[in-house]
Structure 1
Amino acid sequence: MTSSPEAGEPTGVPGATRVGVPPENRRQKIVKGLWIGLWLFYLSAPVTDLISGGHSTGARLLGGLGLVTFVAWYLILVFRTARQMDTRRVLFSVAVLAAQASVLSLALGREWLVLFVYVAISSGAALPGEISRWTVPGATALLTATALAVPGGKAYLAGLLIPSLMGGFAMVGIRAMIRTTIELRQARATVAQLAANEERLRMARDLHDLLGHSLSLITLKSELAGRMLPDQPEAAARQVADIEQVSRQALVDVREAVSGYRRPTLPGELAGARTALTAAGILADLPSDCDAELPEEIESALAWALREAVTNVVRHSGAKRCTVGLAARQTLAGPVAELTVTDDGSAGPTVPGNGLTGLTERLEAVGGTLSAGASGKTGFRLQARIPIGSQS
């Protein structure tokens, strides 16, 4: 008749207790104590026997002391269960309760057989299920043996067997329910933590892709405008106007990314790639559009791949030419959408940074793959492939 703990979760109602949550304040402890104490009502039979059972004064004193000790041990066992006592200590405590019940019943009479019900209930409440499934029938068997040995105990046996078995196994079920509730709460907290981590990863990935591309373009145009001044003020002004437009678009993209609504498209990224490559003085060989109709998730993943690849070409390659291929192909494994970005720059060792790592994760999320590395003696090649049927 107790609860196992789960720290850190509020009850929500002052003074209320919840399954699987230990009392958090004095009022809740009182409520729990009253709930457990309510079931001590069934000890009225031994108490009545002490008062009017015709026992000697010495027997009454010893019986009263034994009953108080039994109840105290029982309450300590049940209350301490919430603190995860060692199983061996719990078994010892249950054995002490069983010994007390046996001695008091044999010494004072059949009215004391009810103590075995508390033994069964405490073992069901305090012990793990794989142990209590044996201790509850064991307590009931000891009740039967003791009842047969006590004068008139057989008449009491029928009324105590079912409460002993049902009460003990009911506590086994309640304990299992408490454990399941705690595990569900922990799983829910884990899922919430994983969702928060995934959202942070998405934000970091989106901001890297968005700002990396836009800031690279702004840097290039700023350098270009600086070289044009003061000899070509009109051309420099056009570059500054482009910088303003790119900055405004980057702000819009960041706001949309934060809101989780932005989904880039291939036509938009192709246009942006052409602008970025031209501004960097790189000859751009790009398709005008994608011929195939692609699902939204696949198009978005390829658009991110195109943006990351072109950003890397502009930043790191020193290339004079960049070629982009975009097509739907039939392979032995089925139709795939394929994006290829190749440049003729200086191909250094491929070191996966935040961009390529995030891009790989995006593609894997839709069943795709990413390969990146040197293309011949010079140049670099990035290829993204996504099965078109993976979203159906």
Structure 2
Amino acid sequence: MDNETVGIPASEAEAADIISTARDAGVRLTITGRASKAGIGHPATAGARLSSAGLSGISLYEPSEMVIAAHAGTPLSELEAHLAASGQRLTFEPPNPAALFGNDGEQTVGGIVAANWSGPRRIQAGACRDSLIGVRFVNGRGEVVKTGGRVMKNVTGLDLVKLVAGSWGTLGFITEVTFKVAPVAEAETTLVLAGLDDRRAVAAMCHAMGSPYGVSGAAHVPGEGTADALTLIRLEGSAFSVAHRIRALTDYLIEHLAENPANHNGHSLLDADDSRAMWVGVRDCVPIARPQDRAIWRISTAPTRGPDVVHAIASQLDIRHFYDWSGGLVWVSTSSKGNAGEAIVRQAVAAHGGYATLIRAPMSVRESVPVFQPSSGPLARISVDLKRAFDPDAILEPGRMAAGV
């Protein structure tokens, strides 16, 4: 194997043979599906590539059980079409990274699990890992590992299932995944509040999340000025239920905003296609995706701390930003020059709490800064120990997340 080698196994057993051979030869492997998220993490240092593109297709679908399994290289669009034909969907609304990276790379189901890739509905339905009930993968020893199950009533090993999600290929080469799914909502409506500044927008979103009305999306997109800012709150469900709840939620929030009437320019409603289009933009980071030459940070924090984190960064850097997850997810665009403001972003997160990932930056920046949030001493040791347990010779995605992992 060498830098030009691309292993494309057609079966799980073949994948195990390739990994075993690579381990014996001391060849390190970069794991890929269709490379839609190849620009995230430290640049690859491996000697060969291993692709899941040859492992494709739906392996199990039980609509009545609301469970679907697919081989890791299955295009996400194929799985979603399969579900849509039966009026079902993935619960966690996986983002499409095309706008961020300026490409049309097709995501695979293994890739969204490896990244724990989750969109706006996470605040209601949980993350990708919360919908994942089974995984098959090949570890760094070339051993096939099965964890979890293929139906909800026969699921074991859920902790290991969740461990694999978000491991970015560092623990194993995923070959098959199983998700619990949900019915497509009959209707959705988005309440749009105009003219709120960041702090009042986050307060309104948190107030909505604390209501009994079942919010499935809460985001705030600042404009060129406060007057252009839009705060988005989504409800989904049956048409009758959504109509009732949106009226009640509107009254509930307008009363809340009336207590502090400054910077509030009214409200409106988006239904059906208009609502869906708005949330696709939020999901895919469209508000700050351009220009492509700027760096993008993804910061998870406590919702009420989101404006504090933004203020701390904006006081030192020229940024653009918006909030998802009721303020708990902050997307920040900075200049990609130097270290993309890495020290300032880390200081802000350290002061106010959270986790910052450099999602997009030139290769030279990703080579020189910690892309993922550096772990504390005990957590770093656990991460290294897990890596050794699953991949003792460190041949799978070495260093993509951090040194030693």
Same fold (TM over 0.5): no
- Structure in which a larger fraction of residues adopt strand: 2
Normalising by the residue count of structure 1, what TM-score does the alignment of the two structures yield? Answer: 0.20
Normalising by the residue count of structure 2, what TM-score does the alignment of the two structures yield? Answer: 0.20
Q: Per chain length, whose mean CA-contact separation is higher, i.e. which structure has more relative contact order (CA < 8 Å, sep 6+)? A: 2
- Structure in which a larger fraction of residues adopt helix: 1
Larger Rg: 1
